[in-house]
Structure 1
Amino acid sequence: MKFERIKSEGLAHLSYFIGSENESIVIDPRRDCQVYAELARRESMNIKYIFETHRNEDYLIGSLELKKLTDAEIYHGHGVDFKYGNYLNEGQEFDFGSMRLTALHTPGHTDESLSYTLTDLDTGKEPVMVFTGDALFVGDTGRTDLYGPEEAPRLAANLYDSIFNKILPLGDGVILCPAHGAGSVCGGAIAKRDYSTLGLERVQNPALQKTNREEFIKFKLQEKLEFPPYFYKMEQYNLQGPPLLQGLPVPKPLSPVEFRAEMEKGAVVVDTRMPHSFGGTHIRNTYSLWLNGIPSFAGWILPYDKPILLVLEEKEHLETAVRYLVRLGYDNIVGFLNGGIAAWYMKALPVDKISFISVHDLKNKLQEHEEMTLLDVRKKKEWDEGHIQGAKNIYVGELEINLDKIPKDSQVIVYCDSSRRSSIATSILKKHGYNNVYNVLGSMTAWKNAGYNTVK
């Protein structure tokens, strides 16, 4: 058997390539899907089937793209009106080489959610792996709030039944293969450990300690997870099938004059440099979104109806930025600033900056009762675990729709845990006319390392 787990960084999306003899399958492929075709070619295998665990809401599925490359058949569950592929029934089996994949209907995260068991027919009839999609993760279970608060109790009950009555009875030795790892927005507490078994989860997974059905439902309903606005776009695309890429977009290298012309026509600028670089100097009215933060935060702040321009730290970062964006459906990437920010200011074009403040200077300002708005842009869960006294909490992804809560007539000092999310926040504030804005260097990490107190 050939087994490959493909991890899409940032989104923490996990997809799988499994092969036997000269046949293979792919489970939950990403949109930039050449990686699976290359694996099949390297192993001299044909990709026979493509399986989806559910209609994903956090990234664009690559099934149609991969079918275009391989002519493999696509399968997914009943429960939503897919416009492509084939529906599967409970217990339906697919053989490839000496392997057998069997579909299990495991609703809860969504109604159409499927898990798949994998059996090696050469060694026995019992499953050796289970691909659980967003039903069961390492250290966590799938969120049950996607249909709204009215439907959450029903989904939580379904998830309990799926996990305790279908997945766990497969056996403690069965290897767990979920659709996401730590950092995904599809779970609140996914463990950083990548590998597990059903037996380990039965013992170690906090949610699975709630063996009583009503306790489990109550536990799930107490979860408070962010709901990025781009989820709606992903659901729409993944129902109909995303537009075919047929290769990654190739943004044009633009001179500063050409770049400015695109800005004047309405393009949105994303500066992918690190916060200290962005703070030092940047093009006015641009978003600060460091390269590896694109998968987690682009969907919160970038519109889908405007072209995108990129400012890069290094030209070699271009492909990574493009891959991150197209996985979220941002295909209209028209160009990047050739020569980087230096090319811009060497042409004497207008620039801006973000002021930084150390935690020691912030501490002094607080002790002197200096007038300010101290803004914590971390998640509610992080805020609840400890924050700086006197701060107000607005999550960075929701800042742009809550600007009315931040006065413009005082200095605004922003922190997160590391200065990265706060850099996004300060760029948003700058775009909306807040001029007296500071980013706290090191943010909460530095604050705690300095020995300063937090409150809950």
Structure 2
Amino acid sequence: MFIQTIKTSGLAHLSYFVASGNKAVVIDPRRDIDIYLDIAKENECDITHIIETHRNEDLISGAPILSEFVNAEVLHGPNADGEVLYATTVKEGHQVRIGNLTLEVIETPGHTKDSICILVFDNDFDQGPVGIFTGDTLFVGDVGRTDFYPEESEHVAGLLYDSLQKIKAKAAASIIYPAHGAGSVCGDGMAEREFSTVQHEIMNNPLMGINEREEFIQQKITEHHYQPPYFSDMERLNMQGAPAYATFQMTSSVQVEQLENMRQQGYVLIDVRPIESYLGAHIPNSCCLPIDMITAYAGWLFSLNDKLVIIADDQNMARYAALHFARIGFDNIEHYFSTNMAMVAAKGSCFSTIDAVNAEQVKQLLKDDWHLLDVRKITEYEPIHIEGSEHIFLGHLADKISALSPDDKFITMCASGIRATVAAAYLQAKGYNNVKVFLGSIGAWQSKNYPVIKPN
């Protein structure tokens, strides 16, 4: 028997392949399902069941896709916000047996109303559950967010408290297997490690340590989480079942001369290279979104209906970027441009740059009518920021850009300069020509011991 963790970069999503004998269960699969098929083949296992611990908001579920490939039953918890068309509803106590393992459902609403956790029993030892798949109910160092039902905020926070007490009572000695790790939008306080036990979380997880229901509720309803617009699309697709991922097949790069015509026809040019490459030289009017930021910000800055052209170092990079886009529903990608900006320039084609400035330069520029635009999360900005800076969360830039004058001069900043580069590129692509990037951002500013605002 074995449990294999499958980590999806960008999303910090964790899915699991659970096997015993020659049978297997997959828990919370992602849209690109080849890895589960490969593991099954390597271990000569038949996937008999697929379990979703909850309705996913931040990625497309691979459950209906994998089910169709292997003819396995999909199990989903009760009280979903609508009918999950491809799944069988299971309730508290439902069991699935594979080899020497028994998986048992417990209902744990709170993060979503249909959330469940899965207890894992080793049938050779009568010692209670040895593991628990906690979905988005319990993480390593944090617990699930409860802001998806704003009109019932106190009620669902209370449900999560009750669910955590159930986990404490039923699985105190168990290893936990959450659906996300550090970097996920589903929590802010997750640890970098992906291993823990319920007992360890009881002793060390701040929210698991709250023993008063009302105190827990008040803590949860004062949290701040962002909800990207694409979450509603994920919810819809994960109720009806999304189609299989169509692998990016474009075999040749478009020509540089075509890019401007394509942009004028409505295509969005997205450069997925590292920010250092983008800052050095890039295709005019292209946006910057490095691969590891696609799943975090594409759904904020672009629409699922947008037709995208990926600008990358080569086809492999373009294909990898297309996969990241597809995991959150961006399927309108048929073209890429394999860029070598030195060759582009050598052929006489136009290119653009964005100035990167350091802390000393920023300090001087602020005396000359430059506006400092901080694009960090509000939970980063409020504890510490530079006096006079304007805050617009990067995810809100598309909605709030109209409030910024194209005639003004902007310096974008964040924690290090990566998100600031994405913001500056977005502004430049929208016609804001006086833009610079504060490379190093708040970290560089503090290293110089320049003054900051730290509200009490």
Does the pair score TM above 0.5?
Answer: yes
The residue type equivalent to 2:409 in the other structure is Q
Per-residue CA deviation, residues 210-244 of structure 1 (Å, 9 max, x unaligned), is 21000000000010111111111111110110122
Which residue does 1:269 correspond to in 2?
Answer: 269
Which residue does 1:298 correspond to in 2?
Answer: 298
CA shift, 1:315, in A, is 3.6
Aligned to 1:111, which of 113, 117, 121? 113
Which residue does 2:247 correspond to in 1?
Answer: 248
CA shift, 1:296, in A, is 1.2
Which residue does 2:395 correspond to in 1?
Answer: 397
The separation in 2 between residues aligned to 1:99 and 1:364, in whole angstroms, is 66
Note the residue ranges of structure 2 that are not aligned, 5 or more in a row.
none
Structure 1 stretch 300-309 or stretch 88-97: which is displaced more? 300-309
The residue type equivalent to 2:285 in the other structure is N
The separation in 2 between residues aligned to 1:206 and 1:430, in whole angstroms, is 42
Per-residue CA deviation, residues 50-88 of structure 1 (Å, 9 max, x unaligned), is 000111000000011211221111110122211212111
Which residue does 2:378 correspond to in 1?
Answer: 380
Structure 1 stretch 13-22 or stretch 274-283: which is displaced more? 274-283
Which residue does 1:155 correspond to in 2?
Answer: 156
Structure 1 stretch 123-132 or stretch 235-244: which is displaced more? 123-132
Which residue does 2:307 correspond to in 1?
Answer: 307
Which residue does 1:448 correspond to in 2?
Answer: 446
Which residue does 1:62 correspond to in 2?
Answer: 62
Which residue does 2:51 correspond to in 1?
Answer: 51
3-state secondary structure, aligned to 2:207: helix
Give the structure-2-normalised TM-score.
0.95
The residue type equivalent to 1:17 in the other structure is F
CA shift, 1:425, in A, is 0.6
1:128 matches 2:126 = no
The separation in 1 between residues aligned to 2:244 and 2:334, in whole angstroms, is 18
The separation in 2 between residues aligned to 1:269 and 1:432, in whole angstroms, is 12
Per-residue CA deviation, residues 334-387 of structure 1 (Å, 9 max, x unaligned), is 111134444544443332221111111112334xx3212111000011112211
3-state secondary structure, aligned to 2:356: strand
Aligned residues: 451
Which residue does 1:428 correspond to in 2?
Answer: 426
Note the residue ranges of structure 1 that are not aligned, 5 or more in a row.
none
Q: Is the 8 A contact 1:373 1:406 kept in 2?
A: no
RMSD between superposed Cα atoms in Å: 1.5
The residue type equivalent to 2:210 in the other structure is K
Aligned to 2:405, which of 403, 407, 412? 407
CA shift, 1:314, in A, is 4.0
Which residue does 1:350 correspond to in 2?
Answer: 350
The separation in 1 between residues aligned to 2:177 and 2:426, in whole angstroms, is 38
1:334 matches 2:334 = yes
1:143 matches 2:145 = yes
CA shift, 1:410, in A, is 2.5
The separation in 1 between residues aligned to 2:324 and 2:338, in whole angstroms, is 20
Q: Is the 8 A contact 2:313 2:338 kept in 1?
A: no
The residue type equivalent to 1:21 in the other structure is G
Per-residue CA deviation, residues 167-219 of structure 1 (Å, 9 max, x unaligned), is 11124320011111111111121121211100000010111222100000000
1:216 matches 2:229 = no
1:33 matches 2:72 = no
Structure 1 stretch 229-238 or stretch 275-284: which is displaced more? 275-284
Q: Is the 8 A contact 2:23 2:46 kept in 1?
A: yes
Q: Is the 8 A contact 1:103 1:116 kept in 2?
A: yes
The separation in 2 between residues aligned to 1:297 and 1:343, in whole angstroms, is 30
The residue type equivalent to 2:139 in the other structure is F
CA shift, 1:322, in A, is 1.8
Structure 1 stretch 271-280 or stretch 417-426: which is displaced more? 271-280
The separation in 2 between residues aligned to 1:334 and 1:171, in whole angstroms, is 48
CA shift, 1:38, in A, is 0.3
- 99 and 322 in structure 1: CA distance in 2 versus 1, 3 angstrom threshold: same
The residue type equivalent to 1:28 in the other structure is D
3-state secondary structure, aligned to 1:196: coil
3-state secondary structure, aligned to 1:91: coil
The residue type equivalent to 1:437 in the other structure is V
1:85 matches 2:87 = yes
3-state secondary structure, aligned to 2:130: strand
The residue type equivalent to 1:372 in the other structure is W
The residue type equivalent to 1:426 in the other structure is A
3-state secondary structure, aligned to 2:176: strand
Q: Is the 8 A contact 2:119 2:171 kept in 1?
A: no
CA shift, 1:318, in A, is 2.5
The residue type equivalent to 2:250 in the other structure is P
The separation in 2 between residues aligned to 1:188 and 1:382, in whole angstroms, is 11
CA shift, 1:125, in A, is 5.1
Q: Is the 8 A contact 1:138 1:195 kept in 2?
A: yes
The separation in 2 between residues aligned to 1:336 and 1:404, in whole angstroms, is 29
Q: Is the 8 A contact 1:311 1:340 kept in 2?
A: no
Q: Is the 8 A contact 2:132 2:171 kept in 1?
A: no
Which residue does 1:100 correspond to in 2?
Answer: 102
The residue type equivalent to 1:248 in the other structure is T
The separation in 2 between residues aligned to 1:345 and 1:84, in whole angstroms, is 52
CA shift, 1:258, in A, is 4.0
CA shift, 1:434, in A, is 1.2
- 409 and 257 in structure 1: CA distance in 2 versus 1, 3 angstrom threshold: closer
CA shift, 1:151, in A, is 1.3
CA shift, 1:3, in A, is 1.1
Structure 1 stretch 313-322 or stretch 357-366: which is displaced more? 313-322
CA shift, 1:280, in A, is 2.2
What is the identity percentage for the equivalent residue pairs of Structure 1 and Structure 2? 37
